[in-house]
Amino acid sequence: MSHPTPEELNAKAHAALAQLEPRITQLKPKDRLAIPVQEMPAQDPHVRRHNIQEVAVGYTAEQARAEALRCLQCKNAPCIAGCPVRINIPAFIQAIVDGDYQKSVDIIKEASLLPAVCGRVCPQEEQCQKPCTVGKALKDCNQSVSIGRLERFVSDWEREQGKIKIPTVKLETGKKVAIIGCGPAGITVAADVRREGHAVTIFEAFHRPGGVMLYGIPEFRLPKVIVQQEVATLEKMGVKIQTNFAVGRTRKLLDLIKKDGYDAIFVGVGAGLPKFMNIPGENLVGVFSANEYLTRANLMRAYDFERADTPIFRSNKVAVLGGGNVAMDATRMAIRLGAQEVHLVYRRTEVEMPARIEEVAHAKEEGAIFHLLQNAKRIIGDDKGRVTGMECLRYELGEPDASGRRRPVEVKGSEFIMDVDTVIVAIGNDSNPLIRQTTPGLEHNKWGNIITDDAQKTSLDAVYAGGDIVLGAATVILAMGQGRTAAAAINKLLAEKMTQPAGR
C-alpha cells in the first residue's frame, strides 16, 4: 500500500465536497454519514524515519470542511460529556462549516487553553470521539467525527495568521501567586490567575519552560514552536517565568509564602520519577529510562548530532520496554536516531496497550518490531559493562485482574535471548519526592501523589496542586482541567482576601 500524499487526500476531499455543495443546505444525516472520514495527511514513513519534523501535517481547508460536515450537530452532544474540559464541540465544528475559523478557535478557548497541543496529543478515541453519534451509527469509533484533527486545524490556522489574541488582564490587585512547574497544569493556572490581575511567577526547575510537552513528547509529534508560542503568550500577559529554580532546593515551598510573601501557591510539578524493572543488569551501560533518553533527544537536542553538546547513545539494536505513549515515543525516537532495529517489548497484547492507536500505528509504519506477550527478565552485558543482550520470557493471558484486563502469566521455561545493545525502560513514572520531602504537612497518598480536595486544595493553607503530581502520570488535558479548577479556587480565595478589611 503506497502512502497517500497530502495532495491526493485533498483531491478526495475536493471531490466529496463537489458532490455536496449544490445541496449543502439540505444535507440529511444520511448524507453526512456517507462522507468518508478525512484521513490525516502525514509524512511518508520512509522519509520521516530519518527526520525529526512533525509526522502529521494537518488538514487542508477542504478536508476540514468535509470533516466538519460529517458532524450531525446532535442536540444532546455526547461528545461534550466525553471531553474532560467540556469544549462546546458541535459549536466549534459548525463555525468551521461556516468558514468562521476565528469564532471556532474562540469557542474552543472558552474551555481549553492549549488547543494546538490537545488537538495533537489528546487521546480523543478515549474521550470526545468515543461517544460520538457518528461513530456509533457507523459502529466504529475510528469513524467518529475527527474532533481532534479539527481542533488542531483551527488552532494552527490562528497561529499561522499570527493572530493569537493576548487575553486581557484586569487591573493589578497587588496579590501574588507562585506556580511551581511550567507544564500544562502550571501554564493553565498562570493564565487563569493572571487574567484576574494577580501577579504570577512560575518557577521551573529546567532551563526552559514547557514540562513534558518540551522534554518528553518529541518534536515529531508536537513541534516545540507551539509550546514556545503558548509560553510567549503568558509572558505577554505579564506572567514572570523563573527558570533554573527547583522548589524544595533553591527555596522551600513554604518559604515562598513566609519569606517572599506569596499569597497562594499552585504545585504542578508532574510525575517525574522513572520506574525501573528491578531486574538484574539494569544499571549496565546502554540501559536508559525513557525520561533520560527522550530528555537528551528533545530538550537537550541530542538528535542534532552536529550542534548539541549533550551526547546520546548510538545504538544498532534497541529494545523498548512498555506499551504506553512514552514507549512509542522512545521507540520512534530511537528509529530516528539511526538504530537499525527497534524492538518494542510488551507484556500484554496490543488491545491492552495504553498508547494512543495513532501512535501505535505510526510506530509500526516506521518499522518498529512488536513483541507482544513478552517481557524482560534480565539484561546481559560484556566485560566492559555494556549491554549485549536481554533475556526475555513469554507470557499468555490468564484471568482478568482488578482492572478488568486479563492478567499476563509467564510461560514456564520460555526464556530466550534477544540480541540488543540498548534497552529503554518505559514502564511509567512515579511521583517525584522532592517537594513532598521538603514540605512538612503536605499530605500525599502511598504512591506519593499529593492529596487535594475537589477544588485542588492541598492539606496546607493557600497551597493547591494539580496535574500528574496529583493524578499520577496522566494526560495533558486532565492536567489542564485540574489547573482550571485550581485557578478558579485561587481566584476565589484572593477575591475573599481582598474584600476583608485591611490588617486582617
Closest by Cα among 118, 128, 124, 123 to 80: 128
Instruction: Write out the binding residues for ligand FAD, residues 335-394 only, by CB under 6 A.
Output: 356
Q: Judged by CB under 6 A, does residue 182 bind ligand FAD? A: yes
Instruction: Tally Cβ neighbours within 10 Å of residue 140.
Output: 11
The residue count for binding ligand SF4 (CB under 6 A) is: 14
Choosing from 90, 184, 211, 381, the residue that interacts with ligand SF4 (CB under 6 A) is: 90
Q: Judged by CB under 6 A, does residue 468 bind ligand FAD? A: yes
79, 128 contact by CB (below 8 A): yes
202, 133 contact by CB (below 8 A): no
Closest by Cα among 14, 471, 494 to 267: 471
Type of residue found at 14:
H
51 binds, among ligand SF4, another protein, ligand FAD, none (CB under 5 to 8 A by kind): none
Closest by Cα among 157, 76, 82, 147 to 118: 147
247 binds, among another protein, ligand FAD, ligand SF4, none (CB under 5 to 8 A by kind): ligand FAD
Q: Judged by CB under 8 A, does residue 301 bind another protein? A: yes
273 binds, among ligand FAD, ligand SF4, another protein, none (CB under 5 to 8 A by kind): another protein
Q: Judged by CB under 6 A, does residue 246 bind ligand FAD? A: yes
- Reported as half-sphere exposure (CB side, CA atoms, 13 A), residue 225 has a value of 7
The grid coordinates of residue 235 equal: 509572558
Choosing from 64, 71, 190, 335, the residue that interacts with ligand SF4 (CB under 6 A) is: 71
Closest by Cα among 467, 377, 484, 384 to 423: 377
Beta strands in 186-290 (DSSP E): 199-203, 240-242, 264-267, 272-274, 287-289
72 binds, among ligand FAD, ligand SF4, another protein, none (CB under 5 to 8 A by kind): ligand SF4
The residue count for binding another protein (CB under 8 A) is: 43
Q: How far is the CB of 415 from another protein (least distance, A)?
A: 23
Q: What DSSP character marks residue 104?
A: H
Q: Judged by CB under 6 A, does residue 476 bind ligand FAD? A: yes
Closest by Cα among 180, 173, 172, 174 to 255: 180
Instruction: Write out the binding residues for ligand SF4, residues 130-159 only, by CB under 6 A.
Output: 132-134, 145, 147
Q: How far is the CB of 287 from ligand SF4 (least distance, A)?
A: 44
The grid coordinates of residue 473 equal: 502520570
Closest by Cα among 113, 146, 155, 312 to 218: 312
Give me the 210-249 binding string for another protein, x by CB under 8 A, dash otherwise: ---------------------------------xxxx--x
Q: How far is the CB of 355 from another protein (least distance, A)?
A: 21
Q: Judged by CB under 8 A, does residue 276 bind another protein? A: yes
Q: Judged by CB under 8 A, does residue 261 bind another protein? A: no
Choosing from 127, 374, 456, 475, the residue that interacts with ligand FAD (CB under 6 A) is: 475
Choosing from 78, 354, 367, 448, the residue that interacts with ligand SF4 (CB under 6 A) is: 78
71 binds, among another protein, ligand FAD, ligand SF4, none (CB under 5 to 8 A by kind): ligand SF4
The grid coordinates of residue 324 equal: 504506553
17 binds, among ligand SF4, another protein, ligand FAD, none (CB under 5 to 8 A by kind): none
Q: How far is the CB of 183 from ligand FAD (least distance, A)?
A: 2
Spatial distance between the Cα atoms of 378 and 423, rounded to a whole number of angstroms: 11
What secondary structure does DSSP assign to 402-445, as a single string? TTSSEEEEEPTT--EEE--SEEEE-S-EEE--HHHHHSTT--B-
371, 344 contact by CB (below 8 A): yes
Q: How far is the CB of 170 from another protein (least distance, A)?
A: 30
Which segments of 243-324 does DSSP mark as H helices, in order? 253-258, 290-297
Instruction: Write out the binding residues for ligand FAD, residues 252-291 only, by CB under 6 A.
Output: 268-270, 272
Residues that bind another protein (CB under 8 A): 205-208, 243-246, 249-251, 272-274, 276, 278, 282-286, 288-289, 291-292, 295-296, 300-301, 304, 307-311, 313-314, 384-386, 432-434
Residues that bind ligand SF4 (CB under 6 A): 71-74, 77-79, 89-90, 132-134, 145, 147
